[in-house]
Amino acid sequence: MMKWQLFLQIDQSFQIHRSYGSMLEGEADELKAQSVISSAIFQLILLQEYQILQCVFHLQVDRSRKIPMLRFRDRDSYASNKTKEYDDIAMKYLSYVLFLLVACFSIYSLMYERHKSCPSCRGRRKGNDALESGMKKIINPN
């Protein structure tokens, strides 16, 4: 049902654009064809990724909460294999590299990038103080 509503909405949008003169007659058909092709390609990629995930994991939908969640559990052939052990070691060292890179980038950013933290806060405070004192003088001229 939603698919047909979406197509109807697209047709209405194309008609509006044609009435404004911003779209030629053949452009709407070309855009529809492109959207259908890109949607089909996206669905094929999504299906392929789902099949790959099912080969590696047991996928389960957990509906015990308000929002359904996917649960991934390793297949027994992978869990008992040496590959899992090597993957765990690789992830351990890759996480060290990731943390090091994040720390280095934050130091680089602090040293070489311009930040507006302290001076802009002080400037805003001074401006607010000036406005506040001006309002006090207007309200209470004594």
| Complete DSSP assignment for 120-137 | HHHHHHHHHHHHHHHHHH
Distance from C-alpha of 120 to C-alpha of 84, rounded to nearest angstrom: 51
Confirm if 80 and 73 have CB atoms less than 8 A apart. no
Q: In this model, does residue 76 exceed pLDDT 70?
A: yes
For all residues of the chain together, what is the average pLDDT?
77
Q: Please indicate whether residue 39 or residue 17 has the higher confidence score (pLDDT).
A: 39
What's the pLDDT at 87?
Answer: 87
Q: In this model, does residue 123 exceed pLDDT 60?
A: no
Q: In this model, does residue 105 exceed pLDDT 90?
A: yes
Q: Which residues contact 78 (CB under 8 A, 6 or more apart)?
A: 56, 84
- The predicted-structure confidence for 60-73, as pLDDT tens digits, reads as follows 888 888 888 888 88
